[in-house]
Amino acid sequence: MAGVSSKSLAAALESLEPQLATASIALAQDLFGILELLDSNAGLRRALTDPTRQGADKAALATKLVSGKVGAQAQAVFLDLVASRWSSARDLGDALEVLAATSAIAVAEGQGGGSANLDKLEEELFSFIRVVGSSHDLQRAFDDAQASDAAKGALARKVVPEAGDVAALLIHQAVTAPRGLKPTALVQRFVELVAKRQQRWIASVSVTRDLSEEQLARLQAGLNNLYGRDLKINVTIDPTLVGGIKVVVGSEVVDATAATRIAELRRRLAV
């Protein structure tokens, strides 16, 4: 996905983010359900992404498609997507898949363990990849066009019987609707989304000189307070750094231009 579609997806993810703290797995299930509807009707996809079609017409069509079938939150997310511009009809479905998976991953993140839960989810997904990747019989079974979704879903549960609800949902999606990929390849994409989510829990800190244990503890406390969660801190020394400190958490860069936060961090690091 590139160009205008990439920008639309980025905007959709930004809009979704504030909702993820309280989202339930039902949101991900609903979004995957909408994706199934789109994938079953090429004409519908084209109608919803036609740049010459009036926005009101597309919104009415989208509402008719999902009204009463999904929750209000999923419907609102879908309508926002339909209102955006897409380079191709396929890109709308790809975006839905990313938003659904991201919603599910955020549920795992919020289940009390934060980054530890994401580590667990990642390992559960990797377990599926390893087991299926090492078995030609399993690969053939999941590739069998004659096998029902129920049969594939049941088999997936046997492959990773200890998987939590989020991993089970993502794996079930991969084996029943791989959308042109091998199931293991789609699960690998989900793993990459987990890794992207994990970056929100890692603070890459650049400073001009070594920090004492006391300064590191103050920095840890300050960053935890700023971001509202317990971050893992990776510190590197950069004597050329302007401003004395630079912090990167996920996609956010906190440097000398962020005066308030930097002043607070400097205060905590002061000897």
The residue type found at 95 is A
Give the model's confidence band at 240: pLDDT under 50 very low, under 70 low, under 90 confident, else very high: confident
Q: Kindly state the average pLDDT of the residues 242-253.
A: 75
| pLDDT grade for 108, boundaries at 50, 70 and 90 | very high
Query: Is pLDDT above 60 for 235?
Result: yes
Residues 6+ apart with CB under 8 A from 229: 114, 201
Tens of pLDDT, residues 139-179:
999 999 999 999 999 999 999 999 999 999 999 999 999 99
Cα separation, 122 vs 239, whole angstroms: 36
The predicted model gives 79-94 an average pLDDT of 96
Count of C-beta atoms within a 10 Å radius of residue 240:
6
**Integer Cα distance of 265 and 176 in angstroms:** 49
For domain 201-269, which architecture applies? 2-Layer Sandwich (3.30)
Question: What is the value of pTM for the model shown?
Answer: 0.80
Most confident segment among 107-121, 154-168, 237-251: 154-168
Domain locations in the chain as residue ranges: 3-198, 201-269
Distance CA 94, CA 100 (A): 10
CA distance linking residue 57 with residue 51, whole number of Å = 11
> Which tokens go with 133?
């990747």
